[in-house]
Amino acid sequence: MSSNTMARDEQTLKVVGTRPVRPDGVPKVTGLARYGADFSLPGMLWGSILRSPHAHARIRAIDTSKACALPGVKAVITSADFPEQKYEFVGPERVAVNFWHMTRNIMAREKVLYEGHAVAAVAAINRSVADAALRLIEVEYEPLPHVIDVDAAMRPDAPLLFEDMITRGVEPAPKQPSNVSKRIEFNLGDLDAGFAAADEIVEMNFNTAPVHQGYIEPHACLARYDSDGQLEIWAASQGHFVVRAFTARLLDMNIGDVLVHPAEIGGGFGGKTVIYVEPLAAALSRKTGHPVKIMMSREDVFKATGPTSGSSMTVKIGVKKDGRIVAADGLFKFQAGAFPGSPVMNATMCGFAPYNIPNVRSVGYDVVCNRPKSAAYRAPGSPISAFAVESTLDAVAARIGMDPLQFRLLNAAKAGTPTAWGPKHAHEGYSATLQALLAHPAYRAPLGKNQGRGVASGFWFNNGGESSATVHVNEDGSVVVATGSMDIGGSRASMAMMAAETLGIAYDTVRSTVADTGSIGYTHVTGGSRVTFATGIAVVEACRKVIVELCARAAMIWGVDRDAVVWRDGCARPADANQGKLEPLSLKAIAAKRAVTGGPIGAEASVNAGGFAPGFASELCDVEVDPETGSVKVLRFIVAQDVGRAIHPSYVEGQLHGGVVQGIGWALNEEYIYDAAGRLMNAGFLDYRIPVASDLPMIEAILVEVPNPNHPFGAKGAGEVNIVPAMAAVANAINHAIGRRLTELPMSPPKVLAAIDSGPQR
Amino acid sequence: MNQAPARVVLISSFSGRYTGGVKEFEVEANTLYDVIKALDQRYPGLGEHLEEETSVAIDGELYEVGYAQAVRPGCEIFFIPKIEGG
């Protein structure tokens, strides 16, 4: 892996932009880091979960008496142990939560809706007893017809998961129920006029497979419900405040009675922004009076936790002969899994967002089917629609004989370009990523036999929102920064660096931690590429408050007015020569006088950070296709991403590498394989094949830095958009290599071979 | 108070549900609070939906909805579905 950085501005920074040793490195490589499964308490019980063998069945009865009678079993719970929830969608439309659905997902009630759906749970003195008890639970099922595929689920005669579900977003409302939870549509301009003005029109259909986030650490937690009604949870998640809120709601508890400790996290990629085992462990603890630990197996993770959606899509694009895109139409049908809530709205908003297109229609459908409920995955929805849009764009560029990067550059969105979803773009950045690839020697490097080159681009919003941070000066002048953001991509380092830069002190004098839900203010999830931006703003604001206090303490020491002191280069200094000859006071010197000047020095800042800027990425991929086997070897991958400013470039490059690796897996290998009964056949990493190091090429990360003026150091967010173009880049490279366009993911060897054997394209 | 008119736009799903299909408004406002308050007076209950369900783009800049957010004279304000990620 390698990287280079482009276009740093002239701002003088001493810490931001450097590459100090990562603070989480030693604990992780020595095994000292404590993940969700590493916590234990005296008297702890083990929890195990009984899961459905059926893809779709009505639960007639559950008899737990034999399990309860097994020696060593302390409690058995079913859905009857959880309060019913009101049926309503609450919160933002794009990610609305319906607790009626959520409580049924963590424990089935009337029906099981996918193989692996939790039906009951046991707490016992050890895991073997708990597992033995599961085999004694008698569940009477009435198997029902099931549906896996999204197009099949939308047919009028499809088996219904919810017999009363009426599609939202359709006027007038349909009279018949269906598996379509929601329809959404965005429009810009006059679509018919746009296509009428086009010289060339390309329309293509696509399918993508659901893929799992593939985090290495399975879900695990420890819960202790005390006799005073207080609940403590130790769990790895992308947001311990969300774990607190959801668990409290599902157990009908006050949020203030739940304390969640953030464990180290072994990957999440969006999949740990929701809960599965926490309310079950808490309910078992409440019932037994003992702490309860639950650990998922890898099979559990595949069968019962959220992948991202599979899809069926149609994209139609019209262009003028000079390369200007004049119209674009997209139809995006997404599998939500067993409960509504796919990322299809993101897909409809992001697909055409990189481009200046005057006439656009983007339609999406959220469709339930008998597989685990989808969960967020790295720029949720955007990679899926980008696969369709960027593949079609490649075909359009070829149709008019235009270089695919120049074609994108001609149509690239700029500040002021309208989007299909309403507002105009406010930030630049996309064109710079295209120019980075155009200027790269690899774009003109010769290719060998059976080799091809593809390019693609992508858009992601990034995010801001609510974050909290505290900054405290220790007795020796060192500093502790605490935030509510779970560290999943290096935020402890970046927060320490931004604090050190603001305070004017060395990075290694700042210790950065993640505080539990009782020790800091509400902080939203580590997701949406929001932490460096939003939590970073909170840290800088807290540091600025500390600086004001440090100057006040210095003024007291010197016996001058507060206004006569400034903070520069890590020291309090007299504002001008009129104050007399005063030696600068370091943070250490002021900390030594903290008691006599008023006590400990520290500050907290909580923000709802706005002004976040989107991320754009453009990627280049070289492949070689084996015409005998259909196997695709990725030879080279270059990702150019506008990151605003890289606070710690090594971590940012890691984000770019990671997004590309996941995109390559999504493109070439990863899929869920179901048998005729709707049972998952490849619920393990041997058969569900994520890329390993030997599958991967040289990945070059180009950090394009177009700073966001709304962040103290220009950060935009870096974690997600890198995955968005990857599948299309690989598909376009394969098309270049074999002259056949693959429109269905994964592009596994049998499909590639079939494409080669299918004869000339078009 | 020297208020300036802002052009406020709702996406179709919000206007379909809450304003009988009316998508665009002119509002005199200095802050986002003024905008939400004015819309809520025209369509009682709309303000709470906007606060809970939307992000806002002011001249293209994306923000979480916050009362104190300044509204520039003659600006363009879009309430869009709230942004979340992975």
Same domain, A571 and A477: yes
Contact B62 A464 (CB under 8 A): yes
What digits encode the pLDDT tens for the residues A451-480?
A: 999 999 999 999 999 999 999 999 999 999
- The percent of residues in chain A predicted with pLDDT above 90, rounded, is 94
Count of structural domains within chain A: 2
- The rounded radius of gyration (Å) of the Cα atoms in chain B is 12
Residue A36 main-chain phi, psi, to 5 deg: -55, -35
In angstroms, what separates the C-alpha of B1 from chain A's closest C-alpha? 25
Catalytic: A720? Answer: yes
Asked if residue A415 belongs to a domain, the reply is no
CA-to-CA distance for A492 and A373, rounded, in angstroms?
31
Chain B residues whose beta carbon lies within 8 Å of the beta carbon of residue A90: 52
Tell me the mean pLDDT in the region A425-444: 97
Q: Is the pLDDT assigned to residue A93 strictly greater than 90?
A: no
A652: which residues sit within 8 A by CB, 6+ positions away? A643, A646, A701, A703, A718
- The DSSP letter of residue A533 is I
In angstroms, what separates the C-alpha of B65 from chain A's closest C-alpha? 8
Contact A218, A234 (CB under 8 A): no
Q: Is the pLDDT assigned to residue B13 strictly greater than 90?
A: no
Q: Provide the pLDDT confidence category of residue B16 given band limits of 50, 70 and 90.
A: confident
CATH of the domain at B74: 3.10.20.30
Instruction: Decide: helix, strand or coil at residue A90.
Output: strand
Q: Which residue type occupies A143?
A: P
pLDDT at A8: 44
What digits encode the pLDDT tens for the residues A285-326?
A: 999 999 999 999 999 999 999 999 999 999 999 999 999 999
pLDDT at A7: 41
Average pLDDT, chain A: 95
Q: Which of A591, A609, A627 is the endpoint of a domain?
A: A609
Other Cβ atoms within 10 Å of A561 Cβ, number: 10
Asked if residue A660 belongs to a domain, the reply is yes
Tell me the mean pLDDT in the region A688-704: 95
Comparing CB atoms, the residue among B55, B69, B86 nearest residue A379 is B86
Count of structural domains within chain B: 1
Same domain, A567 and A431: no
Is A59's Cβ below 8 Å from some Cβ in B? Answer: no
Domain membership of residue A734 as a residue range: 1-18+427-462+613-762
pLDDT at A4: 46
Which residue has better confidence, A12 or A389? Answer: A389
The residue with tokens 């290694």 is A508
pLDDT at A547: 98
Q: Which of A587, A609, A631 is the endpoint of a domain?
A: A609
Same domain, A618 and A688: yes
CATH of the domain at A537: 3.30.365.10
Asked if residue B16 belongs to a domain, the reply is yes
pLDDT at A1: 45
Q: Provide the pLDDT confidence category of residue A676 given band limits of 50, 70 and 90.
A: very high
CA-to-CA distance for A244 and A65, rounded, in angstroms?
32
In angstroms, what separates the C-alpha of A516 from chain B's closest C-alpha? 21
pLDDT at A89: 82
Two tokens at A129? 């007893």
In angstroms, what separates the C-alpha of A345 from chain B's closest C-alpha? 9
pLDDT at B58: 94
Q: Is the pLDDT assigned to residue A250 strictly greater than 80?
A: yes
Two tokens at A413? 């969105």
Same domain, A693 and A713: yes
Q: Is the pLDDT assigned to residue A6 strictly greater than 80?
A: no
Contact B60 A423 (CB under 8 A): yes
Residue A535 main-chain phi, psi, to 5 deg: -70, -30
- The percent of residues in chain A predicted with pLDDT above 70, rounded, is 97
Domain membership of residue B62 as a residue range: 4-81
Which residue has better confidence, A232 or A6? Answer: A232
What digits encode the pLDDT tens for the residues A172-230?
A: 999 999 999 999 999 999 999 999 999 999 999 999 999 999 999 999 999 999 999 99
Q: Provide the pLDDT confidence category of residue A2 given band limits of 50, 70 and 90.
A: very low
**Lowest-confidence segment of A246-260, A632-646, B8-22 by average pLDDT:** B8-22
Contact A487, A535 (CB under 8 A): no
pLDDT at B52: 84
Among residues A163, A549, A720, A744, the one annotated as catalytic is A720
Comparing CB atoms, the residue among A96, A269, A612 nearest residue B62 is A612
Tell me the mean pLDDT in the region A552-560: 97
Q: Dihedral (C-alpha) A60, A64, A66, A71: value to the nearest 10 degrees?
A: 160
pLDDT at A94: 55
pLDDT at B3: 59
Asked if residue A53 belongs to a domain, the reply is no
pLDDT at A580: 77
Contact A114, A52 (CB under 8 A): yes
A160: which residues sit within 8 A by CB, 6+ positions away? A177, A178, A179
Comparing CB atoms, the residue among A95, A185, A378 nearest residue B82 is A95
Q: Provide the pLDDT confidence category of residue B83 given band limits of 50, 70 and 90.
A: confident
Closest of A722, A723, A746 to residue A632, by C-alpha: A746
Same domain, A518 and A654: no
pLDDT at B49: 87
A679 burial (CB, 10 Å; 0-12 / 13-18 / 19+) is: middle
pLDDT at A5: 45
Q: Is the pLDDT assigned to residue A9 strictly greater than 70?
A: no
Rounded to a whole number of angstroms, the distance between the first and last alpha carbons of chain B is: 42
pTM: 0.95
Asked if residue A150 belongs to a domain, the reply is no
DSSP string, A202-225: EEEEEEE---B---SSPPEEEEEE
Distances (CA, A) of B78 to A362, A538, A616: 18, 26, 22
Comparing CB atoms, the residue among A423, A527, A610 nearest residue B69 is A610
Chain B residues whose beta carbon lies within 8 Å of the beta carbon of residue A93: 13, 53, 81-82
Same domain, A617 and A761: yes
Mutual angle of helices A536-558 and A491-503, in 10-degree steps: 30
What digits encode the pLDDT tens for the residues A46-72?
A: 999 999 999 999 999 999 999 999 999
Contact B86 A462 (CB under 8 A): no
DSSP string, A591-651: HHTTTTTTS-EEEEEEEEE--B--EEEEEEEEEEE-TTT--EEEEEEEEEEE-S--SSHHH
Asked if residue A36 belongs to a domain, the reply is no
